[in-house]
Amino acid sequence: MQTIGERLEEARKRKGISLREAAEATKIRGDFLSNIEQNKFDFDLPEIYKRGFLKNYARFLKLDVEKILTDYNAQQLSNSRLGKKAGAEWFGQMEVKKSENAEVPESTEKEDSLGRIAPRPSTSTEEPETEHSRERDDENDKTFYLKIGLIFVGTLALVFVIFGLIWAILGSGGNETADAPAPELRDTPSAGETLMGQGTEAAASSNSVTLLASGNVYVLVRQKEDNSELYRNTMGEGESVTLEKSGPVDILFTAGENLTIEHGGERMRPSASGTAKITIP
């Protein structure tokens, strides 16, 4: 008749599973499984752990768990009887009679009429359920990784929203500069109020002024007599605009080198680059 270890080893090999793979799957050390398959249950662990390992290993190999545990109990009881018998023979075949009044401790095992040992349920301790604890650990890991994934996705979405808002603000700033407040422009001595080829008293032979841009330039045109705005915008390269005026106007700009002004049949440019202001009579 095969021993418990031989049945376990045969079942494992029949499934094509190595001892190392079985140890990884059951979370039981390989040396313990090796001892179990060799029917060596004398390794240094409490009995409850030995039974737990045996139960989980048999369940992993799809064997009858109750049959394995029953045979294991019978084997342990047989070994215990052999040990007592050997001890009695060692001391001269001494027989110890039980006292009729002595209380016999209740055993956690009972023997049926066929000599088999049926395990009785334990009320004080529980066998370690490594499979159940492993399932709980897997659920905890899944929950943890799910939370990490949600946090990552939320952070990524927030970054995209922020970049989208920034892009929208920057994109609308170049096309709708007319709605933006005018920059603080200043008069510069280098720019003065003169035009190239013209003095400060330009001839006012026309009531219109044309602005031409050779590059990006922000332009603000104000009527001097009532301080009303005639034009405010950022002009791009090649753009031009003609304004009707009544009397002198102040023209403020941010890049004089990119601005050309036509007035009274003449084309003029500011005498200085950068931010400045000039007056057209």
Q: Are 256 and 157 members of one domain?
A: no
Number of domains in the chain: 3
Q: Are 43 and 115 in the same domain? A: yes
For the whole model, what pTM was predicted?
0.31
Say if residue 258 is in the same domain as residue 168. no
At 68, list the tokens.
């394995």
Q: What percent of the chain has pLDDT over 70?
A: 68
pLDDT value at residue 133: 59
Statement: residue 125 has pLDDT above 50: no
Asked if residue 154 belongs to a domain, the reply is yes
Give CA 122 to chain center in angstroms: 45
Q: What is the SS3 assignment for 27-92?
A: CCCHHHHHHHHCCCCCCCCCHHHHHHHHHHHHHHCCCCHHHHHHHHHHHHHHHHHHHHHHHHHHCC
More confident residue, 40 or 108: 40
Q: Are residues 122 and 136 in the same domain?
A: no
Classify residue 267: in a domain, yes or no: yes
Residue type, 216: N
Picking from 175, 196, 230, the residue at the C-terminal end of a domain is 175
161 with 113, same domain: the answer is no
Q: What is the pLDDT of residue 182?
A: 45
The pLDDT tens digits for 16-31 are: 999 999 999 999 998 9
Which two structure tokens, joined as six digits, stand for 271?
């005498």
Indicate if 170 and 151 belong to the same structural domain: yes
CATH number of the domain bearing residue 256: 2.60.40
Specify if 75 maps to a domain: yes
- 248 plus 274 within the same structural domain: yes
Burial group, residue 229, by CB count within 10 angstroms (0-12, 13-18, 19+) = exposed
Domain match, 113 and 146 both = no
Q: 75 and 162: one domain?
A: no
Question: Max alpha carbon distance in the chain (Å)?
Answer: 146
In the chain, DSSP finds a helix count (H) and a strand count (E) of 6, 10
Label residue 91 left, alpha or beta by phi (over 0 means left) and psi (-120 to 50 means alpha): alpha
pLDDT tens digits for range 189-207: 444 344 444 443 444 446 8
| Contact yes or no for 50/29 (Cβ under 8 A) | no
Domain that holds residue 217: 208-280
Same structural domain, 158 and 171: yes
Question: Between these two residues, 77 and 103, which has the higher pLDDT value?
Answer: 77
Confidence of residue 122 (pLDDT cuts 50, 70, 90): very low
Same domain, 38 and 109: yes
Considering the domain architecture, whether residues 143 and 221 belong to the same structural domain is answered as no
